[in-house]
Amino acid sequence: MSSTADQMLGNEASRSERQALVMRYATVRSTSERLCAPLLAEDCCMQTMADVSPPKWHLAHVSWFFETFLLKPYLSGYREFDSHFAVLFNSYYEGAGAMHPRAQRGFMSRPPLEQVYRYRQHIDEHMALLMETVTEDPWREVAFRVILGLHHEQQHQELLLTDIKHIFASQPLRPVYCDAGPEASSPTGVLAWHEYSGGIHEIGHHGAGFCYDNETPRHRVYLEDFQLASRPITNGEYLEFMGDDAYRRPELWLAEGWRTVRERRWQAPLYWECCDGRWHYMTLSGMRAVNEYEPVCHVSYYEADAYARWAGKRLPSEAEWEMGAQDVAVGGNLQESGRYHPAPARGTGVVQLYGDVWEWTQSPYVAYPGFRPLAGTLGEYNGKFMCNQIVLRGGSCATPADHIRASYRNFFYPADRWQFSGIRLADECG
Amino acid sequence: MSSTADQMLGNEASRSERQALVMRYATVRSTSERLCAPLLAEDCCMQTMADVSPPKWHLAHVSWFFETFLLKPYLSGYREFDSHFAVLFNSYYEGAGAMHPRAQRGFMSRPPLEQVYRYRQHIDEHMALLMETVTEDPWREVAFRVILGLHHEQQHQELLLTDIKHIFASQPLRPVYCDAGPEASSPTGVLAWHEYSGGIHEIGHHGAGFCYDNETPRHRVYLEDFQLASRPITNGEYLEFMGDDAYRRPELWLAEGWRTVRERRWQAPLYWECCDGRWHYMTLSGMRAVNEYEPVCHVSYYEADAYARWAGKRLPSEAEWEMGAQDVAVGGNLQESGRYHPAPARGTGVVQLYGDVWEWTQSPYVAYPGFRPLAGTLGEYNGKFMCNQIVLRGGSCATPADHIRASYRNFFYPADRWQFSGIRLADECG
Amino acid sequence: MSSTADQMLGNEASRSERQALVMRYATVRSTSERLCAPLLAEDCCMQTMADVSPPKWHLAHVSWFFETFLLKPYLSGYREFDSHFAVLFNSYYEGAGAMHPRAQRGFMSRPPLEQVYRYRQHIDEHMALLMETVTEDPWREVAFRVILGLHHEQQHQELLLTDIKHIFASQPLRPVYCDAGPEASSPTGVLAWHEYSGGIHEIGHHGAGFCYDNETPRHRVYLEDFQLASRPITNGEYLEFMGDDAYRRPELWLAEGWRTVRERRWQAPLYWECCDGRWHYMTLSGMRAVNEYEPVCHVSYYEADAYARWAGKRLPSEAEWEMGAQDVAVGGNLQESGRYHPAPARGTGVVQLYGDVWEWTQSPYVAYPGFRPLAGTLGEYNGKFMCNQIVLRGGSCATPADHIRASYRNFFYPADRWQFSGIRLADECG
Amino acid sequence: MSSTADQMLGNEASRSERQALVMRYATVRSTSERLCAPLLAEDCCMQTMADVSPPKWHLAHVSWFFETFLLKPYLSGYREFDSHFAVLFNSYYEGAGAMHPRAQRGFMSRPPLEQVYRYRQHIDEHMALLMETVTEDPWREVAFRVILGLHHEQQHQELLLTDIKHIFASQPLRPVYCDAGPEASSPTGVLAWHEYSGGIHEIGHHGAGFCYDNETPRHRVYLEDFQLASRPITNGEYLEFMGDDAYRRPELWLAEGWRTVRERRWQAPLYWECCDGRWHYMTLSGMRAVNEYEPVCHVSYYEADAYARWAGKRLPSEAEWEMGAQDVAVGGNLQESGRYHPAPARGTGVVQLYGDVWEWTQSPYVAYPGFRPLAGTLGEYNGKFMCNQIVLRGGSCATPADHIRASYRNFFYPADRWQFSGIRLADECG
């Protein structure tokens, strides 16, 4: 196993005897299916914009990952479920051969959803066999790849939720995916500021536990003293920005942001609609009036940056964010809450670093000094996207709790809005 | 009722007492559902190019037509099935209000197929009530509109088949829609020529039976003597054209045709693929080797025109075609054959005028002299498309037999290829 | 010489001894240069939309025509001026080899205008030599090609004027090309109607004089009785149409017209601008207030068709137009007037058939029955464009008087507006 | 004056008494005109791609800068030369009002080049008056803006050269802009590596002399030990990369780079053409065979990054580059050499840091910690572009010597290739 893979794996393999890994495998896999349970087969084949993949495709692709990187190389005598799937469900791995064009994922009525579930079952049976029978020699590499595959599937669980939201929001009938429960209506506290000391710090993954290659190597950075806001910006605060004519004032925007605002005629975050003079938004529980206490969500980097400029502040760098989060235990409104929607901030101190909304940083997504991608085709997982994207941190209401950590680097294009993405401000000190 | 509608209706209303109409209604409506029976719900929501509509949308739209133009204006106390459907399933009738964007028909996972079938049942029940209870006074207009609605639905049955073919051909798994039966393998006869006398002739609809407004008024035209080929061009003949490098020789093409050939990199008719040096094509019965005796199909007007130029002939005008067909009884390889694929020509004389393949004429689709569209919103059915399209004649293997006639004018854009469209040559005399 | 060429030539060759042809050559060639005299070299290299060609390119291309079709094949020992020009100034003749991409004609700063004038001089000297020295045997073909080349150049003179207008209208400084003289301000007479008898008529070129291949062969058509309006529609009349909200009412438009109106946000004819509540337009004499007595100009076929529908009339077919014009002597506000702008109608009877504005017919541009294009590469002149375009008749204020005739068929795409194109209505009788 | 402006100005104002500034003004302004002297007026209005501006536009825009930011606010009684120019020659300053669309700069035949030169003269006369007459109070701000305006003009001098190169390369006639002189033909030395110590360093502008706001504030960064290559990669070395099939191997490229390679069908750097099996490129001295000893030039960031990956190295960060350059005196093959083309490396040590080719770093262009843009509209100069671009360092053969410095941050999009951009490798130590 490559040393990068080794670093990414941490001590997960050692503590997880095979049995533990088998159980975790079962849990993660069944969660994906549970998330799709409320969907019709017809929902599962929709691709409502190029960024969205049909839920059926997600379900198959994560299985393809196990088939391609585990069953084919490590399970002797393995026969693939369907030879077309190697192409159909390859996302972007050039090293794994040809791939179905991304923009045509929504044209796949076949294989039908049922067949995809049979594919999953086929994979699960053979994965069980592999985990049971593989000898000690390749075990450590196998275990690493299983864990990577499970994190991969968890990452797609979040995409499943954001893609389902986009699919449902594209339906004029505006279906309801889940019951949101009662809505919080008590005010959020005033935005406060917390200071952090600069100097030489270390960021990047360390210690026990899995990480992606893009979180390595841990390395030194120099920071000046800085402050972080106690919580993300709320819808109420964002409405003030909108009310100050922000979507019509070029001086608040990056040049590309301003171009995007005009070309796409943005006037509010994604999913917002003005009905009878009042803002509403689509949620996974259907249309709702905008709740001013919740964190603003579904904003692009351009909007986050413009808000910060309007507020006289800035976005944090990813190093600053990681300093702020590294001693905070993971918790909050994550996927397990089942709400799939941000909730108003509660409590004191710096809250909501994890969950609710991914927080745009000011940092372009680039390699850490000394970065080495995983060897072979798995090296395409993260490294080749290190251009033109921006780092987001902290996870959202759609992220599984055991998938997020202080060093986790998510990344999207600055115009992307369909993720649960929000705004936390930062500032200099003094 | 407008006089145009009167002319279009012919004596259908008089001969069809209500009961007959009720029975015909049932037959046509159930045929649409039978055509969709082999499909999965997932197939039914695909839109694999902008021209294609999802089968589910076709099933709903033809019902919307009855709801909009019959139930709402004529059945007192009628309550619509779902108020969203007025917009969702309006195709292009500006006079009927807003419409869902055409290019987003494939984003509708909702209403699900089941709900569309419930919608059809709702419409059918209320149509039965209307046909039973409407008084004599509006009956003639109602009867006309029912008949128009049934012809409309038959037109969409053909589109259902051509759209299903496109959807299935877009699936890398290449599913089979129907069993084609054994393939004809005996040679087609030599292409012969039949002369027709020129002079002043009349074209356009006349006599008993329904027609569309665009087939009226019957009017005089002057023609020179001309000849028609005895049958459409076969795949074998088209392969000679291809083998003569036709797709790389600009002198054979209209300027726009040549541009299209280069931009879309056409090298053969739609659905053709070269596998191991031999041409195959996708059919509704799956992939098959090209049968050289069948009429060539899925060619654009540009290809039909280029073939004719290469052959030293020309395409017929629509008046010439109609002269050739007006004394020929409708019959042949039409929808009822259940093959949904062209068959080799058999018999003597001028054959296959009806069925097998629509025949591109050289005539742009324009109004006949004195043309008046139907009054009101129904006038949008045909008239507003009289620009930039080309007339095709004679129906295809996907056309219902009682939907086609000598005066029937179909029309598509010159680059369109997904209909069952082929080539019959014409020539001057002497 | 091909018989089509023979028919196109008429008796021009016989009446024009060589000397006459030499003089005509000189006249036409110098006219092109006179039209460009008011331009700067910088104006001459502009391509302000894909349809526009830089004036410099026009000046060179018409010379390339003589070089390619006369000097190279007929003047022995001829050496081309610059070997690059064969490609640079080929417009669309596939048979003449490669061509510079049309959309990049505006990127040619080289050859500079001066060099293009030297090229013209080179061509003129060698053309003089050819016309003087060619033997009798090829003379008739040479004479035909010279005459064709001169008509070709005259056609480009009109394009020069319409392209210059587009170039100047694209300049925020709105330069003036020519002095328009005093403006007519007395009212135009009321629109009257003139009846014509139907029956079998002949259209297409006949008699003495040159014509293009697309005007042949003369052939019989059957027409019903019809009426033509006494003059084109005026700006004043068109303003009523606009004032009746026509650009916002889909029921007035062809489907493609309506799509074009919305996509391009048309609200008035090309070159119209509303300043302080009053409509103005750009003319070759600069910005002017709209004169309500002048024929409306720079409208597309879609607008002409919508206007006719709004007025309860229709556009004439090209056969009807030709019947109306065939006994009318060519004359009126043509290029020679030097105004380059339509003038109000004067006089009684059917006026302004020639000059002022090209009149959109309802006829798609297709081949006449029995049409044979010129042999060889010259056959690309007209024939390959017979698709998706609409015939216009009668010439405009930019057409040379000896270039227009009753049988002349001009053709443009239905959305095109930068030509001097207007509207004459027609109607049924009785 | 804002403190950022103060920092940017450095001590330029103090050392430059008015007279010195007047002389520098004259020198810079006349250089722009000298660079355009070899051009025809027709060359000066070309915009051969959206990124290119017509030379005429550059000449006017830099004058507009003085008019807008100096003459209008500071010269009392100043009357603008032409009121249209405020819009026509505004590049991207939203705060300065409307602007002519960038993509239509090539449609401006007017004002003609002559008029632009009169505009320049008008500006120069009034700038002389301003610099002579302005009182002491605003002097420091005026002086700062004059210096900024001169650096702005120098920046456009480089763009003039790169745009002229693109314009000339778009001419099939391939004109020659300047005489390149004899070509160097002796080999370049072997690529060597030089180590630099890490730790906390400072980057950003300091000391005397002008800088842009984006070079401030000087701030601390932490670096690991690193190495820089002794010289840029040569054409010979790049040909090895090409010969190793690099443009067809996805594993060497960033995902966006690979997409770009395929979509634009890149096979070599910009301006390279293969003639008879040998690579040539367009230079400002015309077409030449590729010289293997010169630095490779006109490569995108994607190509630089792929080359580095192929070579097993990486690109330097901008901080590393600045560490390498901060003690090196500016000099080398800069604009003043008049070659306008990179030259082979000569000498020992780390050479060619300045001049020859801009060196792509691995650093996205973002704000330095604590960055404050200039106040007011001048703040749009740099700050709003801090997204999706990559920093380049060191200047090129088109950069004026007194315009470049160690802290200078140039920035372009990763796909841009028309600047003189090349590759210097970096590596970890040990």
Q: Does B200 share its domain with B164?
A: no
Contact flag D200-A219 (C-beta cutoff 8 Å): no
Check D258 against A200: CB less than 8 A apart: no
The verdict on a CB contact (< 8 Å) between C84 and D172 is yes
Interval A315-338: pLDDT, tens = 999 999 999 999 999 999 999 999
Question: Do A109 and B172 make contact, defined as CB atoms within 8 angstroms?
Answer: no
Determine how β-strand C219-223 pairs with β-strand C226-229: unpaired
C162 lies in the same domain as C201: no
Q: Quick one: closest CA in A to D317, which residue? A: A369
Decide if C172 and D88 are in contact by the 8 Å CB cutoff.
yes
Looking at the fold, whether A349 and A393 belong to one and the same domain comes out as yes
Instruction: Pull the structure tokens for residue A46.
Output: 């929709």
Whole-angstrom Cα distance, residue B412 to residue B388?
A: 9
Are D94 and A222 a contacting pair at CB < 8 A? no
Print pLDDT tens along chain C (430 aa): 455 666 665 555 554 578 999 999 999 999 999 999 999 999 999 999 999 999 999 999 999 999 999 999 999 999 999 999 999 999 999 999 999 999 999 999 999 999 999 999 999 999 999 999 999 889 999 999 999 999 999 999 999 999 999 999 999 999 999 997 787 778 888 999 999 999 999 999 998 889 999 999 999 999 999 999 999 999 999 999 999 999 999 999 999 999 999 999 999 999 999 998 999 999 999 999 999 999 999 999 999 999 999 999 999 999 999 999 999 999 999 999 999 999 999 999 999 999 999 999 999 999 999 999 999 999 999 999 999 999 999 999 999 999 999 999 999 999 999 999 999 999 999 7
SS (H, E, C) C39-68: CCCCHHHCCCCCCCCCHHHHHHHHHHHHHH
**Three-class SS state of C73:** helix
Distance from CA of A55 to the nearest CA of B (A): 12
DSSP annotation of A229 reads: E
A363 to chain D: which residues are within 8 Å by CB?
366
B251 and B124 share one domain: no
Q: How far is A247 from chain D (nearest CA, A)?
A: 14
Q: Nearest by CB to B428, which of C363, C370, C384?
A: C370
CA-based nearest distance A123→chain D, Å: 28
Clarify whether residues B304 and B416 are in a common domain.
Answer: yes
- To the nearest whole Å, the CA of A371 is away from the closest chain D CA by 11
SS3 D357: coil
Alpha helices in B170-187 (DSSP H): none
A211 in the same domain as A124? no
**CA D386 from centre of chain:** 16
DSSP code, position C37: T
Residues 6 or more apart from A213 whose CB is under 8 A from it? A4, A5, A8, A371, A372, A373, A374, A379, A381, A382, A383
Which residues, at least 6 apart from B47, have a Cβ–Cβ distance to it below 8 Å?
Answer: B53, B54, B57, B103, B105, B106, B107
Surface-to-core class of residue A331, CB atoms within 10 Å of its CB (0-12 exposed, 13-18 middle, 19+ buried): exposed
Strands C421-422 and C358-364: parallel
> At a CB cut-off of 8 Å and minimum separation 6, what does A385 contact?
A365, A411, D254, D255
State which residue of chain C sits closest to D41, comparing Cα positions.
C42
User: Is the CB of residue C60 less than 8 Å from the CB of residue C85?
Assistant: yes
Q: Are B339 and B161 in contact (CB under 8 A)?
A: no
CB under 8 Å to A426, separation ≥6 — which residues? A226, A227, A228, A229, A313, A314, A315, A316, A317, A320
Q: Which of residues 153-192 of D touch C (CB under 8 A)?
A: 167, 170-173, 175
Q: Do chains D and B touch (3 or more CB pairs under 8 A)?
A: no
Give the per-residue pLDDT at C15: 45
User: Closest-CA residue in chain B for A82?
Assistant: B173
CB D413 within 8 A of CB D423: no
* The pLDDT value given to residue C1: 47
- The whole-angstrom separation of Cα B75 and Cα A107 is 40
AA letter at D165: K
Tokens matching residue B349: 């004389």
D positions 66-125 inside 8 Å of A (CB): 92, 94-95
pLDDT in tens, A210-262: 999 999 999 999 999 999 999 999 999 999 999 999 999 999 999 999 999 99
Tokens describing residue C22: 């030499």
In this structure, the answer to whether residues D216 and D356 fall within a common structural domain is yes
Q: How many of the other CB atoms lie within 10 Å of CB of B178? A: 17
On the question of pLDDT at D177 being above 90, the answer is yes
Is A414 within 8 Å of chain D by CB?
yes
* Positions of E strands within C176-275: 193-196, 199-203, 219-223, 226-229, 272-275
Residue linked to tokens 């600045």: D322
Rounded to an integer, the average pLDDT of B107-124 is: 98
Residue range D151-170: average pLDDT?
Answer: 98
- Residue C116 domain-assigned? yes
C361 touches chain B (CB under 8 A): no
Q: Is residue D336 part of a domain?
A: yes
Burial class (CB in 10 A: 0-12, 13-18, 19+), A311: middle
Residue A361: CB atoms within 10 Å: 27
| SS3 at position B373 | coil
In a domain, B181, yes or no: no
CA distance B202 to B296: 31
Kindly list the residues from chain B whose CB atom is less than 8 angstroms away from the CB atom of residue A43. 109-110
C385–chain B Cβ distance below 8 A for any pair = yes
Distance CA A138, CA B169 (A): 43
Instruction: Select from B36, B39, B40, B42 the residue whose CB has the most chain A CBs within 10 Å, as the one to mutate to test that interface.
Output: B42
Report the distance separating Cα B329 and Cα A106, nearest Å. 44
pLDDT at site C181: 79
Q: Which of C109, C164, C165, C282 to mutate to test the interface with D (most CBs of D within 10 A)?
A: C109
CA-CA-CA-CA torsion for D101, D107, D113, D116, nearest 10 degrees? -20
A61 in any annotated domain: yes
Size of interface C-D (CB pairs under 8 A): 76
D377 has a pLDDT exceeding 80: yes
Whether residue B170 and residue A40 make contact (CB cut-off 8 A), yes or no, is no
Per-residue confidence in pLDDT tens, chain A, 430 aa: 455 666 665 555 554 578 999 999 999 999 999 999 999 999 999 999 999 999 999 999 999 999 999 999 999 999 999 999 999 999 999 999 999 999 999 999 999 999 999 999 999 999 999 999 999 889 999 999 999 999 999 999 999 999 999 999 999 999 999 997 787 778 888 999 999 999 999 999 998 889 999 999 999 999 999 999 999 999 999 999 999 999 999 999 999 999 999 999 999 999 999 998 999 999 999 999 999 999 999 999 999 999 999 999 999 999 999 999 999 999 999 999 999 999 999 999 999 999 999 999 999 999 999 999 999 999 999 999 999 999 999 999 999 999 999 999 999 999 999 999 999 999 999 7
CA distance B88 to chain A (A): 8
Q: What is the model's pTM? A: 0.95
Say yes or no: D244 contacts chain A, CB-CB below 8 A.
no
- Give A107's contacts in chain B (Cβ within 8 Å): 46, 48, 167, 170-171
> Where is B119: in which H helix or E strand?
helix B113-133
- What is the DSSP pairing of strand B358-364 with strand B421-422? parallel
Q: Which residues of chain B does A108 touch, with a Cβ-Cβ cutoff of 8 Å?
A: 171-172
Interchain contact, A367 vs D366, CB within 8 Å: no
The answer to whether D383 and A255 are in contact (CB under 8 A) is: no
Question: Structural domain tally of chain A?
Answer: 2
**How close B93 gets to chain C, by Cα (Å)?**
9
- Check pLDDT > 60 for residue B10: no
Nearest to C112, CA basis, from C48, C37, C44, C196: C44
Residue D37 domain-assigned (yes or no)? yes
Nearest by CB to residue B107, choosing from A41, A46, A100, is: A46
Give domain status of residue C325, yes or no. Answer: yes
Give B331 to chain C, closest Cα distance, Å.
30
Q: Are B354 and B404 in contact (CB under 8 A)?
A: yes
- Residue B39, amino acid: L
- Tokens representing D297? 């030039």
Residues B125 and B64 in one domain: yes
**Tens digits of per-residue pLDDT, B336-362?**
999 999 999 999 999 999 999 999 999
Query: Are D263 and D380 found together in one domain?
Result: yes
DSSP letter for C236, please.
H
The whole-number pLDDT of residue A15 equals 45
Q: What are phi and psi of C259, to 5 degrees?
A: -60, -40
In this complex, do A387 and D219 lie within 8 Å of one another by their Cβ atoms?
no
Chains A and C touch (3+ CB pairs under 8 A): no
CA B137 vs. chain centroid, Å, equals 34
Q: Write out the two tokens for B390.
A: 């080309």
Q: Under DSSP, is residue D46 helix (H, G, I), strand (E, B) or coil?
A: coil
Share of chain D above pLDDT 70, in %: 96
3-state secondary structure at position D23: helix
Q: Which region holds residue C332: left if phi is over 0, alpha if psi is between -120 and 50, else beta?
A: left
Of C87, C111, C171, the CB nearest to D108: C171
ipTM: 0.95
Would you state the structure tokens that stand for residue A106, as one six-digit string? 């929504």
Residue A28 lies in domain: 3-169
* Nearest-angstrom CA–CA distance, A130 and A136: 12
**Inter-chain residue contact C255 with B384, CB threshold 8 Å:** yes
Residue A3: its pLDDT value, please?
Answer: 59
Are D161 and D201 in the same domain? no
Contact D321, D350 (CB under 8 A): no
Q: Indicate whether C66 and C124 sit together in one domain.
A: yes
Structural domain ending residue among the three candidates B135, B169, B203: B169
Alpha carbon D51 to chain centroid, angstroms? 13
DSSP state of D295: B
CA gap C304, D179 in Å, rounded = 57
Return all residues near C411 (Cβ < 8 A) that are at least 6 apart.
C365, C385, C389, C390, C391, C392
Angstrom distance (rounded) from CA B190 to CA A211: 73
Chain A closest-CA separation from residue D218 CA (Å): 12
pLDDT computed for residue B15 by the predictor: 45
CATH code for the domain of C252 = 3.90.1580.10
Place of tokens 């690991």: D224
In a domain, B50, yes or no: yes
Q: For residue D62, what are the CA distances in angstroms to B56, C239, D211, D387? A: 60, 44, 18, 25
Q: How many residues does chain B have?
A: 430
Partner residue opposite B42 with nearest CB, options A41, A88, A104:
A41
Nearest Cα neighbor of A105 from A90, A83, A123, A120 is A90
User: B177 in a domain, yes or no?
Assistant: no
Task: Tell me, yes or no, if A202 comes closer than 8 A to chain D by beta carbon.
Answer: no
Which of A40, A42, A89 to mutate to probe the B interface, most B CBs <10 Å? A42
Side-by-side strand order, sheet with C278-283? C272-275, C278-283, C286-289
Nearest 5°: the CA angle D317, D319, D324 is 100
D150 and D248 within one domain: no
SS3 content of chain C, % helix, strand, coil (to 5): 40, 15, 45
**Does A366 sit within 8 Å of D367, measured CB to CB?**
no
Burial D123-148 (b: 16+ CB within 10 A, else e): bbebbeebbeebeeeeeebbbbbbbb
